[in-house]
Each structure stands twice: as structure tokens, then as C-alpha cells.
Amino acid sequence: MEKPVWTDSVQEIARHPLEHLDYFMEWGTEAWQHLMSHALENFLGTNLKGQHVLEIGSRYGRMACLFALLGGKVIGLDLNKASLSVAQREAKKWNVTERTAFVQGGKDLSILKDNSFDVVFSKSVLVLVPGLGHFLEEVNAKLKPGGKIVFLENAKGPWFVHLLRTFRHREWDYTKARYFTSEEIRVVSAIFDGVTVRKHSFPPVVLMLGHKRS
Ligand SMILES: C[S@@+](CC[C@H](N)C(=O)[O-])C[C@H]1O[C@@H](n2cnc3c(N)ncnc32)[C@H](O)[C@@H]1O
């Protein structure tokens, strides 16, 4: 069930959005929030004023709105057209429509200018992208020199965790579930500069931070 963030006023939350990271991250355990807090506090910073942020797979727009509340100018891309209107409503709620644009797309990134983003963020999307290496080369091209990547993904984890997940979520068709593998982490590390990988072991979640390849 959605947490009752509206007990505070919207304006109050907008002033301190990082205190409501659970709302903006929308779903996931504390592991996801913990890794995202690390990315914000130790890598991105919490003041994105003037920075151009691209979110790939922005879906309902909450993270894009968080980046806008931190001062960024955000483009949220999603393949799913229906999600865009929800994201636009979210932007209205936070009064960040002038700093956000939600656009259908993402199969390839040719609609975006090269060297134009300070930050590319993605959460639980890369695992769905076919031809990951090629796609990430495009992401690299869109970053400005020195630009940053922040990727968060469900990781596979050891066999017993996989078994436990299969049991806990037995109502899902688990043959279709996908997790980010060590091989995919190596692909990210090979494409961007100085990639650091931080993992949470249970549930297995992986955070990848890095820079445009120089
Ligand atoms: C599992 S959802 C995650 C959504 C959101 N990032 C979140 O964490 O709630 C995956 C989303 O990525 C979108 N998606 C998948 N591949 C994409 C791509 N290549 N470009 C843009 N969006 C993509 C899907 O339409 C879907 O909305």
C-alpha cells in the first residue's frame, strides 16, 4: 500500500524530498533506498541545479520529479506511452512541469543530442534492454564529458536466494523473471570510466556508478 506522504503538505515534502525517498522510489525494499541514498550523497550530490538529467525508463515519473525538485532539468524516456500521462500528472503535483519532459522512446537514443547530459539514471530497466552493450554505447555518447551514470538493478544473487525468490513469488511466472548478471555488470564496467559497483546481498540489488568514457 502506498505510504501516506500526503499527511505532510506537498510543499513541505518538495522542500525536503530526500526525506521521502521511499515515495519517490515508488517500490522496492530499503536496500534500493539505501543504495540510492549512497548515490545521491556520495556521487551525484543533492543539488542538481542546472544539470541535465536523462532518466531511461522513467515510467510514472517519480524519480524524474525528485531530480527536478533537486534542481535538475530532466528528460524521462519510456517506451510505454500510457505511463507518460501519469508522469506528467506527477510533475504537475510537484510543480516541476517546466523542468521535466516525458517522452515516448528509448529503443534507440537517436532522438537525443550527443554530449548533452550531465547524468543518466536508470532503475530496473537495463535488465530489459536487448543488445545491452550497443545501447550503453549510445548512452555514453549522450553524456557530456565527465557526465555520470547511476544504474540500479535487481541482481541475480546466489542460487539459494534465487530459490527463495522463486518460492516467495510463486504466483509469478518466474521463467520470465530477469536479473542483472555479473556478465552484464562487466559490460557496464567496460563501457564507462571508473565504474564502481555496490551490492546489497539480500535482496540482491546492484548499484553501478561511473563516468563517460574519456
Ligand atoms: C520495471 S519498469 C521500471 C520503471 C521505473 N524505472 C521504476 O523503477 O519504477 C521498466 C520500465 O522501463 C521501460 N523500458 C524498457 N526498456 C526501455 C527502453 N529501452 N527505453 C525506455 N524505457 C524502457 C518500460 O516501459 C517500463 O516502464
Render pLDDT for 3-32 as a digit per residue (tens, 0 to 9). 555 556 898 899 999 999 999 999 998 999
Q: Model pTM?
A: 0.93
pLDDT at 5: 56
Q: Which atom of ligand 1 is nearest to the CA of 122?
A: 6
The predicted-structure confidence for 179-209, as pLDDT tens digits, reads as follows 899 999 999 999 999 999 999 988 899 999 9
pLDDT at 180: 94
Domains of the chain, start order: 5-211 (3.40.50.150)
Q: Is the CB of 120 under 6 A from ligand 1?
A: no
Cα separation, 55 vs 183, in Å, equals 23
Query: Does the structure show a pLDDT above 90 at 159?
Result: no
Whole-angstrom CA distances from 62 to 76, 86, 108, 140, 170 are 10, 10, 23, 24, 29
Ligand 1 center–CA 132 separation, angstroms: 14
Contacts of 32 (CB under 8 A, 6+ apart): 25, 123, 152, 205
Average pLDDT estimate for 137-142: 98
Q: Is the CB of 26 under 6 A from ligand 1?
A: yes
The protein residue with its alpha carbon nearest to ligand 1, atom 23, reads 57
Ligand 1 center–CA 78 separation, angstroms: 6
Ligand 1 center–CA 125 separation, angstroms: 5
Ligand 1 center–CA 145 separation, angstroms: 26
